Amino acid sequence: MKSIKAISLVVLLSTLTIAAENNFERTEKALKQAIESEIRTEKEKERDGNRRAIQTLKFFGFRDDMTAVELFPGGGWYSKILAPSLKQHGKYYAALGAGRVKNSLLSHKGFEKAQVLESGESLERNTESRFYEISDFNFGINNVDIVFTFRNYHNFDEASRKLINQKVFAALKPGGIYAVVDHTRRHMQELDNENGRRVDPVLAIKEIQQAGFKFVDFSDIHYRADDELRYEVGRKTVTGNTDRFTIKFIKPKK
């Protein structure tokens, strides 16, 4: 009897593993189609080798049937990959500073089901600190599967980062994923004129854990040995080749 139960367990685990792999095969197919889409510009495609979208999203556990929120999507580099990939089986939301997505992308093919959340935030840049400050806001949704922030965490002061982390935690379902990528600052290095658009990954982990998240894993997908962490990310010697931390958190189920 024990051997039968053991065999049954092995069969079950194998089935679940195969199902998960097949599910990502479908997701990967959707991602590749989005990456090859005509809505992406040549300039955006030139960054594919550096940003490694498929590898990054696979690390985070992204699936094409998820409800996903992208924070501060900017010009929509990731939006043009995520929204079309989620169109058939999932749901894509852009949130916070998503004006360009709202005004220029929602009418494009692949964005038929995409939405921009009207969360009521206001953003102001402090002229002294040069960091942005965000007012209180409300996503207006919950039970989200995954929230992404790509190279945005560094833009905000401590209070704003704390608020954003808390709001993300509230929006995610138990077991939901918080996916964070940003430019690396040397650990415990004080702010100077060269590192304002970088953030200490240890500090980021600490702050996100304080919001209630559990740290799951990190990846060296975006590790760049040539980036000495000395210069501003826009300098010619490092732009497009910055070292970036890639870290995954979950909202605990209990």
Relative to beta strand 144-150, strand 132-134 is: unpaired
Give one word for 141, left, alpha or beta, with left for phi > 0 and alpha for psi -120 to 50.
beta
- Contact (CB, 8 A) for 171 and 139: yes
Residue located via tokens 């921009």: 116
pLDDT for the residue numbered 254: 79
For 31-42, letters b (16+ CB in 10 Å) and e give beebbeeebbee
pLDDT for the residue numbered 147: 98
Mean pLDDT by 10 residues, the chain (254 residues): 51 45 85 97 96 98 98 97 98 97 96 97 95 97 98 97 98 98 96 94 98 98 95 92 97 92
pLDDT for the residue numbered 10: 46
pLDDT for the residue numbered 1: 54
In this predicted model, what pLDDT tens digit does every residue of 100-120 receive, in sequence order?
999 999 999 999 999 999 999
pLDDT for the residue numbered 22: 54
pLDDT for the residue numbered 23: 72
pLDDT for the residue numbered 3: 55
pLDDT for the residue numbered 4: 56
> Could you give the domains of the chain?
2-250 (3.40.50.150)
